[in-house]
Structure 1
């Protein structure tokens, strides 16, 4: 099923999607449609709004799972990577000196030259280390170094590294790896097209402590939220206020995935038109409904990540609903 087919399924199969309405001086100016689903680690859909089976690309929300081979290969142990190294490999950071330095350390510990990075140098910057995906790429290279896999072709879909990433993701979803559909992300690395419920299922695994390697990734993320995105950016600001109980990782084109660690359930959000402001507004709305953050924390988070101009307001309509038996 492609994304358009997913948007056109019959009404009897869906609960109404959420709507984000932008009003200017009280008049409606824009409307965004948003799908969201909560799943457990067995893939059971617990709550939803809109189409839980919508297929779209997970984009950078895949990063915590692209780190798995770094740990399972023994590379993280061989190169003495701590939680900061794992966190930067999961990051979509803002290219600050802090972030670039941590990505460089991943390469330095593995004795890999920066020139092997295949993420682009951002416009106006001086190094690929400043690219928001540099940590992920550094982790890819470190894994290849440990496994004696080619460094020059680490982004190819048939490279042993990417095959292993697909295998691990498929294993978590209970699927044969050949059923996964990959496409090139903007940084050059493969990303996957998944159902929204499958994304939520992956994050339910991330929120569970049943698998040590996955638990190490979630622990690294919540212990180092400033590395995952950056100050005043959604993922960092949410995790700073969640007392190590919520892990969050967004992706481009309106993708947001969140997990409640103590519950082992995952939430996945997709804005049809890819709007970032609508994604943030819905995430705040659903965090409030699910009570995953305190009222004070939610207010502080909203003040940091949902700044809009005077005379303009965002209103989220709808909520997650339990499935009827």
Structure 2
């Protein structure tokens, strides 16, 4: 990646201790760049920030309607959840609806990030299941689409009809031919795109109400599901959940591994994408909060905003030692 710019600073006392560089783009409904930092054409893996794109074929194929999927299930299809009971119970019910089980998932087991769920596994000497994987909702969506298409069980294979449908949707909404793919942490293909391509896709989702057709309806359903159920998209203590609540359901945001973040702003018909080059989540959370403040959709004084923007660095004795703040470039 060339020409990244400072996006988040870590200050300890009077000294700038660490500096995180990155790229970010804001696009309008026409796919035009409204604002950018760094290199808009930097090619990245969107990782989990693109889950709502991967969920588009679930609706456009007719699978969601056939199986009567609820807005909660659509939110889980877009989620990187904590593995809390509110997540796993719903995914298990979804699998039962398909007459499937945990064994049919292909995402792999993961120790839940939710502390009560993790403690429960430890106390009962149980191992995590695949349903605890933060991507299990997305994979339940893949299984639903696979059943609808009458396709085989290995829905994560690049040549499987499910992944072909995901690639077609991805290239449609980014407006780019993907240069390739990598295998994500959940074993599904993750298609590469430019930062501007990812922002363009989010603006496409944000402006769906201005269009007609099955694609536009699917986009609106997914964004509405995310904003209606922020606790399912991530979970308690998570930036996605906290910041969507702070914006009163008017904006959908989604993180991805290695410090990717997106935002979908339907009222402004804008899409945002950012990537911190060193993969630091603390920096991507600070940067997305700062961009949303700059766009006028996030209150800088909201308690949730302050968790990520000018977030205090507190040591083990609860002494405030410094903060994580947006760079001057991001504030300009």
**Counterpart in the other structure of 1:130:** 132
User: Given the alignment of the two structures, is residue 202 of structure 1 paired with residue 201 of structure 2, yes or no?
Assistant: yes
Contact 1:45 1:197 in 2 (8 A): yes
**Counterpart in the other structure of 2:119:** none
C-alpha distance in structure 1 between counterparts of 2:190 and 2:294, whole Å: 30
Match of 1:254 among 256, 259, 262: 259
Contact 2:40 2:195 in 1 (8 A): yes
Match of 1:279 among 269, 272, 284: 284
C-alpha distance in structure 2 between counterparts of 1:49 and 1:265, whole Å: 16
User: Given the alignment of the two structures, is residue 264 of structure 1 paired with residue 259 of structure 2, yes or no?
Assistant: no
Aligned residues: CA RMSD: 1.9
**Counterpart in the other structure of 1:155:** 156
Higher mean C-alpha displacement, 74-83 vs 118-127: 118-127
Judged with a 3 Å threshold, the aligned counterparts in structure 2 of structure 1 residues 23 and 321 are, in CA distance, closer, same or farther, namely: closer
Gap runs ≥5 in structure 2: 112-121, 315-319
Deviations 1:59-115 (A, max 9, x none): 001100111111112211121111000000110001001111111222122222221
Match of 2:61 among 73, 77, 84: 73
Deviations 1:23-65 (A, max 9, x none): 2222222111121110123321110111111111100011001
C-alpha distance in structure 2 between counterparts of 1:316 and 1:265, whole Å: 21
Contact 2:230 2:244 in 1 (8 A): yes
Within 5 Å, give how 1:108-257 maps onto structure 2.
108-123=96-111, 125-151=127-153, 153-176=154-177, 179-208=178-207, 209=209, 210=211, 211-257=216-262
**Counterpart in the other structure of 2:2:** 7
C-alpha distance in structure 2 between counterparts of 1:175 and 1:278, whole Å: 27
**Counterpart in the other structure of 1:12:** none
**Counterpart in the other structure of 1:11:** none
Judged with a 3 Å threshold, the aligned counterparts in structure 2 of structure 1 residues 96 and 40 are, in CA distance, closer, same or farther, namely: same
Higher mean C-alpha displacement, 96-105 vs 304-313: 304-313
Contact 1:170 1:180 in 2 (8 A): no
Contact 2:9 2:324 in 1 (8 A): yes
Shift in Å, 1:287 = 1.5
Shift in Å, 1:303 = 3.1
**Counterpart in the other structure of 2:81:** 93
Q: TM-score, normalised by structure 2?
A: 0.87
C-alpha distance in structure 2 between counterparts of 1:40 and 1:281, whole Å: 22
Q: Give the match's secondary structure for 1:270.
A: strand
Shift in Å, 1:304 = 7.2
**Counterpart in the other structure of 1:302:** 306
Higher mean C-alpha displacement, 154-163 vs 42-51: 42-51
Shift in Å, 1:295 = 3.6
Q: Give the match's secondary structure for 1:308.
A: strand
Contact 2:174 2:198 in 1 (8 A): no
Shift in Å, 1:321 = 9.0
C-alpha distance in structure 1 between counterparts of 2:21 and 2:219, whole Å: 32
C-alpha distance in structure 2 between counterparts of 1:44 and 1:139, whole Å: 31
Count of matched residue positions in the alignment of Structure 1 and Structure 2: 306
Higher mean C-alpha displacement, 17-26 vs 211-220: 17-26
